[in-house]
Amino acid sequence: MNRKIVIGNWKMNKDIRQSVECAEELLQSKYGLDTVNSTDIVLTPSFLALNEVKKVCAQRSGIYLGAQDVFYEPSGSYCGAISAAMLSEVCSYAFAGHSERRMYFGDTDEMVYRKVRACTDAGIVPIFCIGETGRAYSAGRTKAYLRYQIEHGLKDVRPCDMVVLYEPVWALGTGRTPRTDEVEEVMCFVKETLAGLYGPDRSAGQAAVRAVYAGSVCPENAAAYAALPHVDGVAVGTASLCAQKLAAIIHAVDRVD
């Protein structure tokens, strides 16, 4: 069985000082993270805060750093870009194709594929993000949409440690969340599609490919999502900005058998 995983995505929040303070608070004994045994914890602060947060997290095993994005070229005249090779000095994980990168920065499926490849080449675990739009959801095309994203984003990526993150884009900012049975149906489909690419042993429990749900995850619903048979963990946005809430989510996931 895969180890569970909780990813705290701080997005464009917290300066360096605030990021360090949040990480330090999270590690306080009152939150009991030293009792978490079967769940990996990934924090993704801003690029600027990565190195300082890493120093804090070095105090405890099982907490990893991730980057919120990565560029697919190894080096060159790409002003403002950060390569996977550069990130590998600090990070163990990196997002590729987050819905907000696709929405606001124009990341295409081809670009996401190249980012995944760059991560695997640099020894970083890619957090490969997928999710259907409102139009696809309303038209009943969720599975076709996700299949296309998976097959194009991973088209010749060799079997490797990977997180596949599903976030229903149609629910973002609407106050709507999918029912747990809807999430389970989608996550089962995701793992079946991955099995078609990599074989069942590489995608459904004996391998390093973990399927994670994201979308309005909070302390009240984290356990329900993590307990679904085809869900290996959760990614947390707004709630992860509060150490107390993030710790509660981590414990809720860790208690799931």
* Catalytic (active-site) positions: 98, 167
Q: Which of 76, 168, 152 is nearest to 115 (CA)?
A: 152
Cβ pair 215, 177 in contact under 8 A: yes
> The tokens 């990130």 sit on which residue?
87
From CA 89, how far away is CA 51, in angstroms rounded?
9
Those residues whose C-beta lies under 8 Å from the C-beta of residue 6, and which sit 6 or more positions away, are 39, 40, 41, 42, 222, 233, 234, 235, 236, 246, 249, 250, 253
Cβ pair 6, 236 in contact under 8 A: yes
From CA 211, how far away is CA 231, in angstroms rounded?
6
Length of the chain: 257
User: Token pair for residue 236?
Assistant: 């947390």
From CA 151, how far away is CA 157, in angstroms rounded?
10
Q: What are phi and psi of 6, to 5 degrees?
A: -125, 125
From CA 111, how far away is CA 107, in angstroms rounded?
6
Residue 33: how many CB atoms within 10 A of its CB? 20
